Amino acid sequence: MRIIEAKEGGEEVSNGLKEAKEGLKAKDFNPLGNIEEWQDYKESLYTEDPTWNPTNPEKKRDEFRNYQANPRQERVRNFYRVNHEKQTLQFVLNQEKKYMKLGRFKMGVWEALELLDKYVDDSDPDTNLSQLAHALQTAEAVRAKYPDEKYDWYHLTGLIHDMGKFLGSVYKEDQWCVVGDTFPLGCKFAKKIEFSKFFNNNVDSNNPLLNTRCGIYKRGCGLENVHMSWGHDEYLYQVCVQNQ
């Protein structure tokens, strides 16, 4: 699978990795050399306790995805405040128009993953490791539990599930429109969405056409016809379905 394959009309974009590298500052692309270098890098970026261990083997299952009490609470909460204020239906329509034709780069999966080496997800309450490390951890965890070759599709899914964060590491989109949980636009925001109170400052909350259960949609229209908040999930979905 290629991360982004062809322009509209079938014209291929050649040598995408070279273009991606040239589009980045050298300090943003060069992989970190060792764990000590990563520790220094992490301490320079984050306010959380640098001694916090995101890979603590003693952490219990029910302690994950706790958005109300975690070592990254301030950072995660601020992320969702901005995300919920700025993800509007019009913004999503604009991003779909900008990115869903693809055609910007041509590169392989591993080449794309390497560009996530220093990208850290501000919305994740459980880890502050790079998205490359997260991808490898996820793939290996899946393979450890489902080692049979008949699950190779599952291993691959674990590896690439967050690869759409390429939007932030290469295209330099802000985190609020790259990472985080997804939710539908064009209808009333559900109270079950994490930090749902921040939708009070979203302009769509003041539009009566967008504040019924179905909003602009017909009941039973199908998920493929629903506009979801823009980010890495929708982007990678488009990469996959357009590269079958």
Per-position pLDDT tens, the chain of length 244: 455 444 444 444 444 455 555 555 554 555 556 655 655 555 555 456 667 777 777 777 776 767 676 667 788 888 999 999 999 999 999 999 999 998 888 888 999 999 999 899 888 767 788 999 999 999 999 999 999 999 999 999 999 999 999 899 999 999 999 999 999 999 999 999 999 999 999 999 999 999 999 999 999 999 999 999 999 999 999 999 998 7
Q: In this predicted model, what pLDDT tens digit does every residue of 20-36 receive, in sequence order?
A: 555 555 545 555 566 55
Which tokens in the block code for residue 69? 């009490």
Helical pair 152-160 and 131-145, crossing angle rounded to 10 deg: 160
